[in-house]
Amino acid sequence: MRILGVSAIVALLLGLGLAPLASAQLPIGGDITNVVPVVTSVTVTGSSFDPTSGTTTSIPVTTVITDTNGCNDLTTGSSSVTVAVYTSGDVVLVSPAALTYASCSLGVAATFSGNALMPFHAAAGTYKVRVAATDQAAGAVSASLVTAPTFTYGSLVAMTTAASFSFSAAVAPGASTAVSQGIDITNKGNGVMDAQVSGTALTLSSPSASIAVSNVAYSVNSDMSSSTALSGSATSLAAFDLAAGASSSKTLYLQLTAPSAASQYLPAGTYSGTLTVTAVSG
């Protein structure tokens, strides 16, 4: 009798547990794997470029990045697509710069375009373009430098100087101006440069007078040592040797020696002439 009683209680409890429900909601989920993007292609529009004096030269670049998670994976969050320029020895020259999203094909192939900016002072030679991409989930890829597209960068000889120059103080007949005065010459090309100099006589319009061009001396030394008389013909400063660089400059020092009144009439006034400085390859 005790065994039958236990069985009846169990059956009753099971019957309560099997009561049906009208509806049920339960969470479900699954993970989508992030797939690292692939650099499908990189193209440089053009094969050779010339430096632009004092500024950068744009190197147009287009790339297609394939991401099986979708094009938006490369345009949202912290994603990025960049281009950098390397030397032929695989040393980075131009740091990575962002490319701009252009279009999407088949939902997974994203096209980006933009420019790598070459500095004017980069040496002439062959350079490589490298594209890198990072998706919004931090999956990253960099194109191979072995198969990277290349371009050639030409040579440029260029310079800038001040628009004008005046000696700091008037000078008496027969005397010379103070030393350590001159003009700064800045190399705006991408190679070592020398300079050629020439000039004209200094003239006064009224009353009419002039000072011969040879009364102006020039030197690369601030104390005017090893100076040379200026002439009307271009003369090379072979030892100028101004290296290329973002702000590479050197001073050409000048000194005026006024003729004495015993040698010529030299009325007071402001005399003016022209100094010509020409950049040449060093």
- Is the pLDDT score of 4 beyond 90? no
- Is the pLDDT score of 127 beyond 60? yes
The model carries a pTM of 0.85
- Residue 248, CB half-sphere, CA atoms under 13 Å: how many? 21
- Is the pLDDT score of 21 beyond 90? no
- Is the pLDDT score of 118 beyond 50? yes
| Cβ-based neighbour number of residue 230 at 10 Å | 25
- Is the pLDDT score of 18 beyond 70? no
- Is the pLDDT score of 191 beyond 50? yes
At 19 the pLDDT is: 58
At 8 the pLDDT is: 43
**Across the chain, where does the E strand assignment appear?**
38-44, 48-49, 56-66, 80-87, 92-98, 100-105, 109-119, 125-134, 140-142, 150-153, 159-160, 182-187, 193-199, 202-204, 209-211, 216-219, 228-229, 235-242, 249-256, 275-281
Compute, in degrees rounded to 10, the torsion defined by CA atoms 119, 93, 76, 67: 120
**Sheet containing 193-199: order of strands:** 235-242, 193-199, 275-281
Q: pLDDT digits over 52-67, tens only?
A: 999 999 999 999 999 9
